[in-house]
Structure 1
Amino acid sequence: MPTSHLPHYLSEEILLHPENRDFPPFDPVRLLGTVFEPTKGCSVCILTDFDEPAELIKDFNYLSHEGFPVQKKAHEAFYLALKNGALEALGMSGGEMFAYKCTNGSNLDLADEVWDTAGNKLSLDADIYPKYDIILCLSTFSATAPLTAKCKEFGFRGATMHGVNDVILNSGLTVDYNEVSADAERIRLAMNKADEVEIDFALEDGRILTAWLGLDGQEAQKSHGLCKGEKPDVANLPAGEVYFVPTDARGHFPMKYEDGTLGVLTVENRNIIKSELIEGDQATIDAHNARLQDDPMTGTLGELGFGTQVLPVSYSDIQDEKVLGTCHLATGRDDHLGGDIVPEMFKKHENSTHDDILFAPHKTPNFKIKQVRMKRGDQQEIIIEDFRPSRYIMDALASARD
Structure 2
Amino acid sequence: MVQDMTAEELVALVTRVFRPVPGERGLAILVDLPDAQVPDTPAWRERRDMAAAWAAMLAGRREELGFDTHLALYPNVHTNNGDLPAQAWLQGDGPLPQRAEDLDPAAALPFPDLYAGHSILIALTTFSATAPLKMAARQFPIRAATMPGFSRAMVPSLRLDYGEVNRRVQLLKDLLDRAEGADLRFTHPGGAANLHLDLRHRTGHASGGLIPDLGTAGNLPSGEAYIVPYEGERPQDPSRTAGLLPVQFGDEVVCYAIEGNVARCVLPGGPEAAREAALLAAEPAYGNLAELGLGVLAAFGVKPVGVVLLDEKLGLHIAFGRSEHFGGQVGPSAFSRPEAVVHIDRVYVPETQPRVQVDSVTLRLEDGTALPLMRAGDYAPGLF
TM-score above 0.5: yes
CA distance in 1, matches of 2:89, 2:20: 28
Counterpart of 1:209 in structure 2 is 193
Say which of 355, 359, 366 aligns to 1:370. 359
Q: Is the 8 A contact 2:293 2:318 kept in 1?
A: yes
Deviation at 1:290, TM superposition (A): 2.0
Counterpart of 1:360 in structure 2 is 349
Counterpart of 1:343 in structure 2 is 332
Counterparts in 2 of 1:292 and 1:48: CA distance versus 1, 3 Å: same
Q: Does residue 264 of structure 1 match 2:255? A: yes
Give 1:25-104 correspondences, 5 Å limit. 27-42=9-24, 43-52=26-35, 68-76=45-53, 78-85=54-61, 87-93=62-68, 95-104=69-78
CA distance in 1, matches of 2:223, 2:328: 19
Deviation at 1:39, TM superposition (A): 4.4
Q: Percent identity?
A: 25
Q: Does residue 190 of structure 1 match 2:175? A: yes
CA distance in 2, matches of 1:141, 1:216: 31
CA distance in 2, matches of 1:40, 1:181: 25
Say which of 378, 388, 401 aligns to 2:378. 388
Q: Does residue 239 of structure 1 match 2:222? A: yes
How many residue pairs get aligned? The number is 351
Q: Is the 8 A contact 2:202 2:229 kept in 1?
A: no
Q: Does residue 333 of structure 1 match 2:322? A: yes
Q: Please provide the CA RMSD for this pair.
A: 2.4
Query: Structure 2 regions of 5+ residues with no counterpart?
Result: 93-102, 231-238
CA distance in 2, matches of 1:277, 1:266: 11
Q: Is the 8 A contact 1:194 1:217 kept in 2?
A: no
Q: Could you list the per-position Cα deviations for residues 142-194 of structure 1 after superposition, in whole angstroms to 9, with x for gaps in the alignment?
A: 10110111122221111101111123112x21124333222211222234320
Give the secondary structure class of the aligned counterpart of 2:186: strand
Q: Could you list the per-position Cα deviations for residues 79-106 of structure 1 after superposition, in whole angstroms to 9, with x for gaps in the alignment?
A: 2321333x3322221x211211112211
Q: Does residue 168 of structure 1 match 2:150? A: no
CA distance in 2, matches of 1:108, 1:66: 21
Counterpart of 2:235 in structure 1 is none
Say which of 139, 142, 147 aligns to 1:156. 142
CA distance in 2, matches of 1:234, 1:201: 32
**2:244 partner amino acid:** H
Counterparts in 2 of 1:137 and 1:276: CA distance versus 1, 3 Å: same
Q: Is the 8 A contact 1:193 1:217 kept in 2?
A: no
Q: Is the 8 A contact 1:70 1:162 kept in 2?
A: no
* Bigger Cα displacement from structure 2, 123-132 vs 330-339: 123-132
CA distance in 2, matches of 1:195, 1:49: 39
Deviation at 1:52, TM superposition (A): 3.3
**1:159 partner amino acid:** A
Q: Does residue 320 of structure 1 match 2:295? A: no
**2:45 partner amino acid:** F
Q: Is the 8 A contact 1:195 1:215 kept in 2?
A: yes
Say which of 126, 129, 134 aligns to 1:140. 126
Q: Could you list the per-position Cα deviations for residues 222-281 of structure 1 after superposition, in whole angstroms to 9, with x for gaps in the alignment?
A: 11222214x221121111111111113211111123x55421111111110112355xx5
Q: Is the 8 A contact 1:191 1:220 kept in 2?
A: yes
CA distance in 1, matches of 2:49, 2:319: 28
Counterpart of 1:254 in structure 2 is 246
* Bigger Cα displacement from structure 2, 109-118 vs 365-374: 109-118
Give the secondary structure class of the aligned counterpart of 1:129: helix
Q: Is the 8 A contact 1:107 1:353 kept in 2?
A: yes
Counterparts in 2 of 1:217 and 1:392: CA distance versus 1, 3 Å: farther
Q: Could you list the per-position Cα deviations for residues 336-356 of structure 1 after superposition, in whole angstroms to 9, with x for gaps in the alignment?
A: 111111111222222221111
Q: Could you list the per-position Cα deviations for residues 91-150 of structure 1 after superposition, in whole angstroms to 9, with x for gaps in the alignment?
A: 221x21121111221111011132333454313324312211111110011101101111
Q: Does residue 199 of structure 1 match 2:187? A: no
Q: Is the 8 A contact 2:187 2:356 kept in 1?
A: yes
Counterparts in 2 of 1:136 and 1:347: CA distance versus 1, 3 Å: same
**2:310 partner amino acid:** Q
Q: Is the 8 A contact 2:263 2:288 kept in 1?
A: yes
CA distance in 2, matches of 1:233, 1:67: 26
CA distance in 1, matches of 2:109, 2:343: 25
Q: Could you list the per-position Cα deviations for residues 345-402 of structure 1 after superposition, in whole angstroms to 9, with x for gaps in the alignment?
A: 2222222211111111110011111111111132112111222110252xxx2xxxxx
Give the secondary structure class of the aligned counterpart of 1:322: helix
CA distance in 1, matches of 2:90, 2:56: 16
TM-score (norm 2): 0.84
Query: Structure 1 regions of 5+ residues with no counterpart?
Result: 1-23, 57-61, 398-402
CA distance in 1, matches of 2:11, 2:72: 21
Deviation at 1:44, TM superposition (A): 0.7
CA distance in 1, matches of 2:368, 2:139: 42
Q: Is the 8 A contact 2:44 2:126 kept in 1?
A: no
